[in-house]
C-alpha cells in the first residue's frame, strides 16, 4: 500500500512540499496538482522549502560563475 504524504492534520509533509516547490521553480507543475497542493500545504513548510530552493539556486549560480571565470 502506498504511504500518504499527509500528516495527521491533513497537511502535506515537508519533503512532499519540497518536491512541489522544486517543480514550481522549474515550471513543470500540473494544474490539478497545484490545486490539490494549494489546499494541503503547511505555509511554514512552503516558506522553508522556498528558502532551501533559493539557497540551492544561488549556490549553483555561484559555482557556475566561478567555473566560467576560472576558465577564461
Per-residue pLDDT of the chain (72 residues; tens, 9 = 90+): 445 555 555 677 888 888 888 877 777 777 777 777 777 888 888 888 889 889 999 999 999 999 999 876
Give the span between the Cα atoms of 72 and 70, in whole angstroms: 6
DSSP string over 29-65: --HHHHHHHHHH--HHHHHHHHHHHHHHHHHHHHHHH
Residue 1 has a pLDDT of 41
Look at residues 11, 55, 60, 7 and name the one whose alpha carbon lies nearest to residue 36: 11
Decide: 45 and 15 in contact? Cβ < 8 Å. no
DSSP code for 4: P
Does the pTM of the predicted model rise above 0.75?
no
Amino acid at each position: 500500500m502506498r504511504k500518504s504524504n499527509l500528516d495527521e492534520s491533513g497537511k502535506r509533509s515537508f519533503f512532499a512540499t519540497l518536491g512541489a516547490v522544486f517543480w514550481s521553480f522549474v515550471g513543470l507543475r500540473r494544474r490539478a496538482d497545484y490545486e490539490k497542493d494549494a489546499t494541503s500545504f503547511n505555509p511554514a513548510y512552503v516558506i522553508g522549502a522556498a528558502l532551501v530552493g533559493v539557497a540551492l539556486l544561488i549556490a549553483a549560480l555561484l559555482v557556475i560563475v566561478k567555473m566560467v571565470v576560472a576558465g577564461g
